[in-house]
């Protein structure tokens, strides 16, 4: 009887481990999809386990198709660090929501009454518009349908919509008509979104027309402010938009690595972390 007790206890311990592991992995999936990415070191600290254990969890979850491994962490399933497609608007709006809200609020706080703004078609930019309701006398130029509607509904700004063909994925006007209108404009500030960015390649995208309209916007603004959550840093599309030195300010979240922040500041770019 005595010799059987240790075996029984061991078996019980083994049965307890499986539910704990399954629960942890389920929470990891929720975190990755909710925040857009998670690092191994952060997950290990959060769950009080080793990085080896977390890597094993991520390998298993990737095998099940529940997320994708990335350098030093994981991404939601269907997203890769080398960006090849533009995620749908609903999917993008649901990624890194907390970070986007903080970035949007910080961006809006830098807008002065009576200024002219050029607003890109990005989910963070839409969020920013909601914070402009108390800023008077603005002129807002945009190619984004949702930005134009939000600005009309929540601000007293004069809203100008760029013409052109509406892109289904971006919900924005694109093409030569929109670019032609931009040639006649000079605005105080451009608030720009980015699909991907890194030091070597600068801002990149996966859609030729979107890349072209972003370039035209940058030429029409006295100051360019990039609104970019940290998950987009060190990613790359296959179409170059502009070098990082074309941007004067980057507003991002605390997930941006210290080395990346220093590298941007070394280029003379103001980095605002929120």
Can you give the pTM of this predicted structure?
Answer: 0.68
Residue 257 has pLDDT above 80, yes or no: yes
Which percentage of the chain shows pLDDT scores above 90? 58
- R_g of the chain computed on alpha carbons: 22
Most confident of 25-39, 68-82, 83-97, 133-147: 133-147
What pLDDT shows up at residue 263?
A: 95
Tens-digit pLDDT profile for residues 193-212? 988 999 999 999 988 999 99
The stretch 106-133 carries a mean pLDDT of: 95
As a whole-number percent, the residues of the chain with pLDDT over 70 amount to: 86
Query: How does 216-232 read in b/e, with b if 16+ C-beta sit within 10 Å?
Result: bbbebbeebbbbbbbbb
DSSP state of 236: B
Interval 96-120 mean pLDDT:
93
Angle, helices 51-63/40-47, rounded to nearest 10 degrees:
110
Residue 18's pLDDT is 67
Average pLDDT over residues 126-145: 95
């Amino acid at each position: 009887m005595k010799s059987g007790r240790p075996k029984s206890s061991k078996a019980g311990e083994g049965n307890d481990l499986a539910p704990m592991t399954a629960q942890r992995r389920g929470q990891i999936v929720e975190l990755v999809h909710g925040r857009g990415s998670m690092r191994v070191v952060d997950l290990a600290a959060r769950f009080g386990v080793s990085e080896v254990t977390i890597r094993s969890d991520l390998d298993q979850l990737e095998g099940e198709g529940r997320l994708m491994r990335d350098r030093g962490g994981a991404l939601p399933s269907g997203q890769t660090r080398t960006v090849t497609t533009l995620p749908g608007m609903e999917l993008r709006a649901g990624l890194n929501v907390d970070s986007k809200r903080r970035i949007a609020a910080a961006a809006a706080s830098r807008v002065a009454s009576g200024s002219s703004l050029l607003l890109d078609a990005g989910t963070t930019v839409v969020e920013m518009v909601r914070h402009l309701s108390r800023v008077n006398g603005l002129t807002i130029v945009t190619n984004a349908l949702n930005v134009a509607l939000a600005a009309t509904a929540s601000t007293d700004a004069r809203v100008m919509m760029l013409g052109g063909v509406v892109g289904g994925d971006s919900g924005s006007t694109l093409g030569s008509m929109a670019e032609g209108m931009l040639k006649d404009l000079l605005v105080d500030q451009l608030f720009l979104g980015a699909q991907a960015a890194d030091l070597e390649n600068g801002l990149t995208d996966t859609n030729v027309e979107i890349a072209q309209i972003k370039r035209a916007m940058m030429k029409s603004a006295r100051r360019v402010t990039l609104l970019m959550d940290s998950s987009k840093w060190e990613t790359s599309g296959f179409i170059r938009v502009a070098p990082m030195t074309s941007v004067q300010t980057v507003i991002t979240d605390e997930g941006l690595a210290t080395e990346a922040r220093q590298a941007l500041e070394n280029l003379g770019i103001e980095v605002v972390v929120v």
